[in-house]
Amino acid sequence: MHVLFVEPSFPRNQPRFVRALAEVGARVTGIGEAPVSALPDSVTQSLYGYEQVGSVCDEDAMTEAVRRIQAREWVDRLEATVEAHILPTARVRADCGIPGTSIETAYLCRDKPAMKEALRRAGVPCAQSAGVASPEEAREFAARVGFPFILKPRSGAGAAGTFKVSSEAELEAALGPSGLERGVSVAAEEFIEGHEAFYDTLTIDGEIVFDFISHYYPGVLEAMRTRWISPYFLTTNRVETESYAEVKAMGRRVIGALGIGTSPTHMEWFFGPKGLKFSEIGCRPPGVGGWDLYCAGNDMDLYREWAMAIVHGRCEARPSRRFSAGILNLRPERDGRISGYSGLAEIEQRFGEWIIDSHLPPPGTPTQPVDAGYMANAWIRMRHPDYDRLREMLETVARTVHVYTD
């Protein structure tokens, strides 16, 4: 099978998808923005061919690249795993007659108001939401739904460009930064109070083959706005318990309603006073190395299983559910340049056997802003057979390790 893979070297875990495809027998041609001379060995060793384009989100350039490849030989699949690449890739796939995720599915998994409208019709419990494109429409939404509510990009990921508005004054203050004053269409959503978590799957022909459940501490919006917090998320090894049956049933309904076929999925949800509520879904893996945690917690190579699904239409492994696993973002005390760390030796002594890996930028490294995500600046990943014990360990690391800046 000949598989075209979009942007094989960035972000950091992309080479693992390329290597997995090659390992299960695919010929892999990469399409990316970097010149082939700049690709790391971990990528070029697995590639059969490569096409450079100015932007992998430029549909015309991508279509031309794919047709150049098709003029030389048959292409079976065109795959992308990054949120911003999913919809452009679906359009190119359709133009070039390649099977895979449809334009409609990709669009519904990208545009949040359209996504929720489709799922409400399918009976999935969602927050009240609407697309708004002017200050007047935002004010009308506020009058109808009430405060607080959320303004965010229709096709954003994570908490980027997201505003929680709790009053008329906060709404007026958000009109400029959100783009509403310029007529930009954004998503307005009822704010759902409760615990925030996510349900991830790998599906083949719409059937869930693997599933995983992870929890945020605290919720993403608070985590990406509050410097003193060292946020973390962790995946539970209690997925098979009855307490998650409602979440898993909702996930199956969402996947069916949106027409997701053979694909990873990443679905966020809330549970609180209003019960279980769907938040959003992408037909892609989670960001910030979520699959690495699933691999470490389940004694499996999920990248390889994804490649098996794409190339052979089946998977081979079974998740062991032996460990829960999590990542903790260690934030600097302020912006600047990292000058050093404290507490690392103590953590290594106490929890060394449970540490998966870590990233500790050397002194002199410029810091990244708080909203840059869980892998900005320093981080540590850990696992443990007991979910509650792992939470305690991560909380201890957050209190013990300090990142200093000049």
* Residues in a beta bridge with 327: 233, 381
Q: What integer pLDDT is reported at residue 154 of this predicted model? A: 87
Residues 183 and 200 in one domain: no
Residues 393 and 258 in one domain: yes
| pTM reported for the whole predicted model | 0.92
Residue that is last in its domain, among 190, 207, 232: 190
Task: Give the full edge-to-edge strand order of the sheet including 129-132.
Answer: 129-132, 186-190, 149-153, 163-165
Report the CATH number at residue 203.
3.30.470.20
Residues 6+ apart with CB under 8 A from 241: none
Q: What integer pLDDT is reported at residue 333 of this predicted model? A: 87
Rounded to whole angstroms, the Cα distance separating 61 from 299 reads 40
Per-residue pLDDT tens digits for 17-58: 999 999 999 999 999 999 999 999 999 999 999 999 999 999
Residues 397 and 265 in one domain: yes
Residues of the chain with pLDDT under 70: 156-160
Instruction: Identify whether 322 is part of a domain.
Output: yes
Q: What integer pLDDT is reported at residue 242 of this predicted model? A: 97
Residues 301 and 159 in one domain: no
Report the CATH number at residue 26.
3.40.50.20
Q: What integer pLDDT is reported at residue 317 of this predicted model? A: 96
Q: What integer pLDDT is reported at residue 379 of this predicted model? A: 98
Separation in Å, CA 357 to CA 16, 212, 342, 394, 404: 17, 21, 17, 13, 20
Residues 277 and 238 in one domain: yes
Residue that is last in its domain, among 146, 175, 190: 190
Q: What residue type is assigned to position 54 of the chain?
A: G
Instruction: Identify whether 281 is part of a domain.
Output: yes
Could you list the residue range(s) of the whole structural domain that residue 149 is in?
Answer: 128-190
Q: What integer pLDDT is reported at residue 321 of this predicted model? A: 98
Instruction: Identify whether 123 is part of a domain.
Output: no
Residues 270 and 398 in one domain: yes
Domains contained in the chain, number: 3
Tokens matching residue 275: 């019960």
Are 112 and 281 in contact by the 8 Å Cβ rule? The answer is: no
Q: What integer pLDDT is reported at residue 157 of this predicted model? A: 65
Residue that is last in its domain, among 167, 190, 213: 190
Report the CATH number at residue 148.
3.30.1490.20
Sign of CA dihedral 34, 35, 41, 45: positive
Rounded to whole angstroms, the Cα distance separating 397 from 391 reads 10
Residues 6+ apart with CB under 8 A from 77: 1, 2, 3, 4, 98, 99, 100, 310, 311
- SS3 assignment for 1-55: CEEEEECCCCCCCHHHHHHHHHHCCCEEEEEECCCHHHCCHHHHCCCCEEEECCC
Residues 32 and 60 in one domain: yes
Q: What integer pLDDT is reported at residue 159 of this predicted model? A: 64
